[in-house]
């Protein structure tokens, strides 16, 4: 019994943290313990581990799209062009859909001799080519849609400007490499699919391929370099210099062309998707 009471006393000491003094404790008395949990004004509040912080002064995690390196004035880093607006994107996608439906409704489209002859040299079956084609198309089209309309917009609105730019400088090379490879696979496997191969699909995929390749090799690296050059001038306090203004114009030009070519490639994917859907429904 004494051992049980001693163990109970030790547990209460650990729970209350009062250095061994528990209010009202005795082996034959009713134990009275008063505990009070410190209130937290924020669900993400926590106290520092290096010091014993008071519950009245918690450290709060604040997630904000600003940081110490942000420029304090209201000048935008880039002025949005017309082709970067949601209206222009919606019109472009609608036009691609209408064009694809129109060309598909005209019946079987002609094919080019170059791709038809090349397809005869493929060593894989038409079923294997179709599987590779659908997987590569789904990977490419889904990547472009998510990056352009979901991830990119979300990061732009919620990340600090320089954090967003640094992240995109690492993300975009991988993005364009993946897209270029997936489109190349589609062009190669399309030659082994005579029921799907058409001049419409061929042209749409070739346009998407060269637009993406242009982004990969020239537009994206150039715009990224200009962006970092602008950052350097900002750090040197030369935001009002002629050099900075010149870089701002260059960045707007290259970034705008890059966004436009990415949209063109996406529209090419829409045209090819409608063509694929018509063959699957046939």
The three state secondary structure string of 223-268 is HHHHHHHHHHHHHCCCCCCHHHHHHHHHHHHHHHHHHHHHHHHHHH
Q: What is the DSSP letter of 212?
A: H
Task: Choose among 262, 107, 109, 265: nearest CA to 186.
Answer: 265
pLDDT of the residue at 9: 55
Supply the pTM of this predicted model. 0.69
Low-confidence ranges of the chain (pLDDT < 70): 1-83, 107-122, 282
Residue for token digits 């409608």?
Answer: 274
**80 close to 255: Cβ distance less than 8 angstroms:** no
Query: CA-CA distances (angstroms) from residue 269 to 37, 106, 188?
Result: 58, 19, 15
pLDDT of the residue at 21: 46
Q: How far is the C-alpha of 172 from the C-alpha of 43, rounded, in Å?
A: 35
- Give residues with Cβ within 8 angstroms of 142, minimum separation 6: none
pLDDT of the residue at 165: 94
The pair of three-digit structure tokens given for residue 13, joined into one six-digit string: 């000491």
Helical H runs in 147-190?
A: 152-158, 161-190
Q: How far is the C-alpha of 162 from the C-alpha of 141, rounded, in Å?
A: 28
pLDDT of the residue at 280: 80
pLDDT of the residue at 279: 82
pLDDT of the residue at 198: 83
Task: Choose among 232, 247, 273, 281: nearest CA to 99.
Answer: 273
**224 close to 161: Cβ distance less than 8 angstroms:** no
Q: How far is the C-alpha of 190 from the C-alpha of 279, rounded, in Å?
A: 13
pLDDT of the residue at 171: 96
pLDDT of the residue at 187: 92
């Amino acid at each position: 019994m004494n051992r049980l009471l001693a163990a109970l006393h030790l547990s209460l000491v650990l729970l209350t943290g009062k250095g061994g003094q528990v209010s009202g404790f005795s082996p034959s008395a009713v134990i009275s313990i008063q505990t009070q949990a410190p209130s937290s004004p924020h669900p993400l509040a926590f106290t520092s581990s290096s010091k014993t912080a008071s519950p009245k002064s918690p450290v709060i995690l604040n997630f904000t799209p600003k940081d110490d390196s942000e420029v304090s004035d209201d000048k935008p880093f880039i002025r949005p062009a017309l082709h970067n607006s949601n209206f222009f994107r919606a019109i472009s996608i609608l036009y691609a859909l209408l064009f694809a439906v129109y060309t598909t409704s005209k019946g079987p489209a002609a094919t080019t001799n170059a791709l038809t002859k090349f397809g005869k040299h493929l060593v894989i079956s038409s079923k294997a080519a179709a599987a590779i084609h659908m997987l590569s198309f789904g990977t490419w089209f889904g990547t472009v849609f998510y990056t352009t309309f979901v991830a990119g917009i979300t990061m732009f609105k919620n990340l600090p400007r320089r954090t967003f730019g640094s992240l995109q400088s690492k993300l975009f090379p991988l993005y364009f490499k993946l897209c270029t490879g997936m489109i190349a696979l589609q062009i190669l496997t399309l030659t082994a699919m005579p029921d799907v191969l058409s001049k419409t699909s061929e042209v749409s995929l070739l346009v998407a391929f060269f637009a993406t390749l242009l982004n990969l090799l020239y537009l994206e690296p150039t715009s990224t370099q200009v962006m970092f050059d602008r950052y350097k001038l900002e750090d040197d306090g030369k935001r009002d210099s002629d050099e900075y203004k010149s870089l701002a114009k260059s960045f707007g030009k290259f970034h705008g062309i890059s966004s436009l070519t990415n949209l063109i490639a996406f529209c090419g994917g829409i045209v090819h998707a409608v063509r694929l859907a018509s063959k699957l429904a046939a």
